[in-house]
Chain A
Amino acid sequence: MKLLSLSIERLEGLRTGFALGPEHLTGRVRVLHGPNAIGKSSVLRALKCLLWPREAPARGSIELEARFEIQGNEWTVRREGASTRWMRDGNVADAPPLPAWRHASQMLVGLDALGLGGDREVREHVQREMGGGYDIAGAETALRPGVQVGRTQAGHLSKAEDELRAAQFAQQEVIRDADTLDEVRRARNASLGAGKRVVLLDKALELAQAKRALALTESRLAEFPSGLENWRGDEPDELGKLRKRLASAQSDQDRAHRAIVAVERAIARDSIAEPVPADVLDELDQRVEALRSADDAWKAALELDSRSQARLHAAGAVFGANADLDRFASLDDSLDVEVDALARATEVQARHDSEVDAQLAAIGSGSSARPPAHRATAALEDWLSAPTASASDAKPRRFLLLLAVLLALTAMGLAFVHLANLAILVLAALALFGARAKAESNESNRADHAEAYARTGEEQPTAWTVDAVRAQLAALREREVSALEARARDGRRAELTARREALADEGRGLALRRIELAARLGANPTAPDSALAAFAQSRRSLREARSASSEVRASCDLHGLQRADASASLNKTLETHGATRVEDLTAARVRLKSLRERSAELSSHRAEIEHQRGLERVVRETAQDIEKQIAIVFRRGGLESGEDVALQNRLEHLEPWRTAREDRSESARDVERLSAELNAKSADAADHALADLPEPRLESERQSARDLAEQADALTERVLKIEMMLEQARDARTLEAALEARNDRRDALSEAFTKARRGVLACALLADVRAAHEATSRPRIVEEAEKLFASFTHGRYALRVSTVDGELAFTALDAQNAARPFALDELSDGTRAQLLLASRLAYLHEIERGDPLPLVLDDALATSDPARKQEIGAALLEVARKENRQILVLTSDAADADLLRPAGTPIGEVEATDLAVVRSISTPAATRERLAAPAVARVPDVGGANAEQFAAALASAGIPVRPFDPRCEVDEVHLWWILHHDLALLQRLLTLRFDNVASFRNAARNEIAGVGAREVNAMTPWIALTSAVIDAWRIGRGRPIDRSVLERAGVSDTFIERMTALAADVHDDAKLWFAAMSDGGNERAKGYRKKTLDQNREFLVAERYLDEREILDREDVWLRVLASMPPNHGIAADEVRQRFELLWQSCTSQ
């Protein structure tokens, strides 16, 4: 089968179409080269879409066409969208027989198909063929216990055992403590006993100390002078007070003496020798008082006499200077009564007279009128009280009636049928009839009244209208009242006139009496009554004045006598007592006062003298007493009075002595008390004996006891704690639970072991069987691959296919050294590519159903160096020649055409097609530059830089150190991480352009100068360390997945986009990807078959993309790294640790 032409008119990702004609595709090996994005991969995709339209569905619009030569026939296939049409020799035909889609990758080889990983499909096929059609490896995989089997259970068991050990340890602790419990209790009891003894010893020690203090105070007391016990200490104050009092007494004594002398002098100076006795003075007082009384009475009598004379003169003046006062005085007193009676009668008469005059004036004059007849007024009132309607009132009613009739008639004339008008008419008639009846009744009454007036003769009212009758009735009533009043006034006037006349008679009688009296009095007969009364009054006054004057005069005389007697008595008394006489009361009083005062003064002096003398005596006695007290004070201390200095000396010792004495008393009390207390606390003779022990020994014993007693609390606490722990331990069941858990875990591990054991034994048997089978049979595909490989390598290498540890192993045997088989990863790239190509072609032979299928290599040689490319090119050409197989090589390197063309190759066997020319696309200069190899950077010298500084220098030079990524293989690790410790070697390798482990290994393998055994030996342990870190870190993490991985895992094109997107969502983490796919709710997982997912999982697990183990923590990783290090690696432990830390840090920063 050969591709003759290919036309890509429309294909997703390609802007413009292009076509490859026979001129671009002929030749045994055709190299299609061009820069990236020129359409190389589009050629591959187009072929897939055309040959397997069902498995490679179109995305977007698609329009392709190709021509093939198959078994001598020309086939054309055209695809437009989902429609694919085959034509053979111009006729529509069914599609030719083609390998299954799953084999497409064998002929359309992608980027990594010839990579280190090899081809899984080929491997599986080979493996199955080697098993005689039985999947021994599959059976082994199914039966072999996974690496995780038992680990979880072992981890659980380990944890359970740890817990059990911890619980056992705790219990052992408790038991150990419990074993010591009795001992601790004894110690505690001893400690408690020591506590009690400490108290006893404290007492004993206190007692000893008290005794010592007592002895000390007694010795101090003995040093003081004797007699201090009688001193009180306040003696100086006492003496001071006593002496002060003594001085005061002496002063008082002097003062009294001087007072006596002074009073005696005053007495001597006095006029009277002896004081007048009090009773004499009282008598003198009485005398003076009698004199005063007599004098006062005499003077009052004189005064009264004087006033009496004045009155007498006044009374006499009333009657004139010449009147005979005596006569007047002798008149009968009855005249006075008569004068008074006359005055009263005159007064009464005058009052009555004026009253009558007033009444008469009030009544005045006038005649009385005739009162109107009562009947007339009564008749008028009756008439007025009759019904009020009158004939005049009826007139309007008639008018209304008439009006109503007229209206009714008018209405009837207008509308005779109206009943209302008829009713109005009836009502008006009734009103008119009532008015007429009333008027007739009034007329009847007036007639009756006129008849009555006629009968009485009274004037009949002229008008009989109501208003007229009313006015007439009012006039009648006024006239009637006036007549009655006039009659009353006339009667009264007559009565008053009579009375006035009687009063005039009475006045005249009184005048007569007045004349008579005036005559009898001697007064003017015309004198008014008032003059008579005054005259009578004067006469009584005169008489009384005369009478009084007589009495006063007599009294005056009497008092004059009495006064003279009193004066005489007084003078006599005065004379009796040596006093001079006095003339009058004033002098008497003065004399008496003087006498009294002198007497009192003299008595006072004498009393004072007595007092002072008594005082002088008392003070003297007091002073003597004080002097005695002073003497006592001094004698109290055995001193004589006046020994003040000695006293002071003694007193200075008093306070210390007292303190000493108190100390001694206190000490004595303490001794007594402590002895009693110690006796009370002592339980036995030994305790009692403590009282006699010396103080140092007591202190020593007490310290020991105290030390022991101080442990009591701690020991008690410990006892309680042990008891509590015992109690808790007995109830806890912690151990039971831990043991149960441990047993359960152990059972689980045993079960896992049983399963694992069965699997291991089964695998061992299968491995034995497989070895036996492989030794006796070799499948065709292997023979074919061996032949091809030998051919490719011109016999230098022989291919050996075997199974090692269940894995298919391709090894190459060097013809020159057959004892040394080379594994795939030990071969150079070219040899490896030859080997894989051989195996692939052998497989193609197995699956091809007709003509050899074209082999398309898409950038499959990109990683090969020129020499390898030449070798591969030779192999490819050989295959093309032998098998007549078309081989298309898609590459971005135009030089590959030359490299793939072995020397001496005839023209036309290896041809090249520049796709850029085909597509008429001239690559812009800029693009060329970009595609061109970068300028070689110069590796800086290390100098004195450390690793980090050197890394920075490398970055500055444009050779950055890639971070350590544990997800990558160790081959991809930058050498900086390996040679962190040997920067010189690092610098040298970088200069040789070896920057990662793979390039270093290749260099070593190819024996490139500068990379020899020494370097390999130096780096191997570090690479192993790095690899161990990567391996351990990957546990539970797996490798990142991407589209190519998913494709290899069996994700179909239908799902690849979705699955790739999902992988990107979960950061290329296979575990998360699988979890998401297993999640029923994930939209992207919808429609995905579980069986396919299981297959994917199987692949991902097998290829270590999916690792279902638990992720290890730092220390676990470290332990694994240590365990993985080769023996005798020669690196110091701390260096290993440092490197691990460096790598781990980079791991965790990913």
Chain B
Amino acid sequence: MTLRILAVGDIHLGRRPGSVPDDVAASAGGRDALGPRAAWQATVDRAIQERVQAVVLLGDVVDDEERYLEGWSALETGLRRLITAGIEVFAVAGNHDVRVLPRLASTLSGLHLVGAGGQWESVEIANGAGRFVGWSYPTAHARTDPTHDPELARLLATRSEGPTIGLLHGALDAAHSDYARFSGARLAALGADTWLLGHVHGPTFARADAGRISMGFLGSLTALDPTETGVHGPWLLTYAGRELVEAQHLALATLRWECVAVAVDAWTSVEDLEPGVTGALRDFDAREAANIGAARVVGLRIELTGRCKFHRDLQRAIERFAHDQLRPTLDGRAFFVDAIVDRVRAELDLQALARDTDPPGLLAQRLLALDALPSDVTNTGERARILRLARDARESLTRRSEFVAIPRAELRDEVLIEEVREAGLTALEELLASRANAEAGA
């Protein structure tokens, strides 16, 4: 028996894609045409077109409980169309739609909310061709691991001819998350044939456990911000018996974000900046044309990497570069550059500089200390001192009233070291330039 399901990850209706320039959005028909609403409508169209037996929503259908009204109409309309087309619709509530989905399920008879109230539940699909075992958020936060509920094990212990598909919206392997954290290993061992996961916007759905099961996050239905790069859309799953024979990620999202790294090592001057950026755009288009799907707008972040001697000039050139004027249309898609990120390192010989006791030498010594090996006791101590210094400085910055809105996450040493290295190199460049300027002025 064949079972075809369209699985939909976080939709976040009621939210619009940010960081898209107004003119680009307008050229594509407005922000709505690039956001979750349009993606949801395309998904519904596709489900009807593919004649799937069921559509399942993996939570966070609306972006915010307090904003669900603005997504309500689109959601309700889409669901009604699916139900009218004879497609069964299932959903688990995520942390964003604890109230919305139960409310909708109570008014829409064709919508099955699986595991309502935080109680694992098993429901049949397509007259027993398969079944969903799912769990919905009872409240906006779930601080316990729902996979430890014995009811889940009980439900999964029952076998069926069709596939048993687990549905869960939560944080994978996140020890301190308030959103139904769970262990991937445990999940794989629970006995379901497939685990469809929601919550994380980057799609990771794949076979796991040596191909024994398939599991992973479906990803957001459409990219909601520039960090959500890659293909976004629903998954078309085809089962033959209990086996998942095909998992097709449908690139239905009309907006695509990508981050493109451009190495500057071969550049000879800042004049290479513009051709380098435009070349990166063309390369991306040529490389990804086959996978770009329904995307009508492509936003790129250019990350400049490598080393160059003219880094300070390059920094200024980046600041001057009017990347927002770069709006090529390639293969009928509107491309734009969201930002150019400078990850270039100045070409400095830290070892040589560190031999002196002048300020650049002292600074180079500190930067080298960041890379100290554990055996290098002196430098590891120095590294620890520098990191303390950096933490204090950083802390003083985050205490400033203007930055209190910046979320304070745990700062790992690796991240801090990278930040200190970046800042130190910049300072070193500035210091060296000041001497050069003084000599030039004299």
Chain A residues in the interface with B (C-beta under 8 A): 128, 131-136, 138-139, 142-143, 145, 149-151, 153-155, 157-158, 161, 168, 171-172, 174-175, 178, 726, 729-737, 739-740, 743-744, 746-747, 749-750, 752-753, 756-766, 768-770, 772-773, 776-777
Contacts and interface: CB of A to CB of B under 8 A. Distances in A.
Interface stretch (B38-46, B247-255, B289-297, B360-368): B360-368
Contacts of A151: 402
Given A753-B406, A764-B389, A765-B386, A150 B400 contact: yes
Contact of B357 (A763, A766, A776): A776
Contacts of A168: 64, 66-67
A772 B392 CA distance: 18
Given A131-B359, A740-B16, A753 B70 contact: no
B72 A769 contact: no
Given A135-B437, A136-B434, A766-B431, 17 more contacts: A133-B435, A134-B438, A172-B66, A175-B66, A730-B69, A736-B15, A739-B15, A739-B63, A739-B67, A747-B225, A753-B397, A757-B394, A757-B423, A758-B426, A760-B397, A761-B420, A765-B390
A324 B435 CA distance: 207
B329 interface: no
B325 interface: no
Contact of A134 (B18, B360, B397, B401): B360
Interface string B411-442: 00000000110111011001111110110000
B120 to A, nearest CB: 28
Contacts of A143: 423, 426-427, 430
Given A171-B69, A749-B403, A132 B358 contact: yes
Nearest to A174: B69
A129 to B, nearest CB: 11
A514 B433 CA distance: 196
Nearest to A1123: B401
B14 interface: yes
A493 to B, nearest CB: 150
Chain B interface: which size bin?
A: 35 or more
Nearest to B430: A139
A757 B419 contact: yes
Contacts of B438: 128, 133-135
Contacts of A752: 402
Contacts of B406: 749-750, 753
5 contacts: A135-B434, A739-B63, A760-B423, A761-B423, A764-B389
B31 interface: yes
Contacts of B69: 171, 174-175, 178, 726, 729-730, 735
B396 interface: yes
Given A743-B225, A761-B393, A765-B366, A736 B67 contact: yes
Contact of B366 (A149, A753, A756, A769): A769
A746 B422 CA distance: 23
Interface string B359-402: 11011001000000000000000000010011011101100111
Nearest to B362: A769
B19 interface: yes
A149 B397 CA distance: 11
B204 interface: no
Nearest to B395: A760
Given A143-B427, A732-B70, A739-B15, A760 B394 contact: yes
Contacts of A729: 69-70
Contacts of A730: 69-70, 72-73
A647 B353 CA distance: 146
A757 B397 contact: yes
Contact of A733 (B70, B386, B401): B70
B423 to A, nearest CB: 4
Contacts of A132: 358-359
Contacts of B434: 134-136, 138-139
Interface in B168-203: none
B409 interface: no
B66 A139 contact: no
Given A154-B403, A736-B67, A136 B423 contact: no
Contacts of A735: 14, 64, 66-67, 69-70
A555 B68 CA distance: 152
A382 B396 CA distance: 167
Contacts of B405: 154, 157-158, 161, 746, 749
Contacts of A135: 431, 434-435, 437-438
Nearest to A735: B67
A758 B362 contact: no
A142 B424 CA distance: 14
B363 A769 contact: yes
Given A154-B401, A168-B66, A168-B67, A766 B435 contact: no
B435 A763 contact: no
Nearest to B32: A733
Given A139-B430, A758-B419, A736 B70 contact: yes
Nearest to A777: B357
A817 B397 CA distance: 36
A174 B423 CA distance: 49
A1098 to B, nearest CB: 13
A33 to B, nearest CB: 40
B321 to A, nearest CB: 16
A139 B15 CA distance: 43
A150 B402 contact: yes
A768 B423 contact: no
Ranked nearest first, the 4 interchain pairs of A and B with the lowest CB-CB distance are A761-B423, A154-B402, A135-B434, A764-B393
Given A730-B73, A757-B394, A773-B359, A768 B403 contact: no
A42 B396 CA distance: 52
Interface in B12-35: 14-16, 18-19, 31
A476 to B, nearest CB: 139
Contacts of B18: 740, 743-744, 747
A178 to B, nearest CB: 8
Contacts of A142: 430
Contacts of B362: 769, 772-773
A770 B359 contact: yes
Contacts of A761: 390, 393-394, 419-420, 422-424
Contacts of B358: 132-134, 773
Contacts of A731: 73
A154 to B, nearest CB: 4
A987 B66 CA distance: 63
Interface string B102-132: 0000000000000000000000000000000
Interface in B80-117: none
B191 to A, nearest CB: 40
B15 A768 contact: no
A739 B16 contact: yes
Between B31, B392, B401, B426, the greatest number of chain A beta carbons within 10 A of the residue's beta carbon is seen for B426
B363 A766 contact: yes
Nearest to B385: A768
A769 B359 contact: yes
Contacts of B67: 168, 171, 735-736, 739
A131 B430 CA distance: 13
Contacts of B360: 134
B66 A768 contact: no
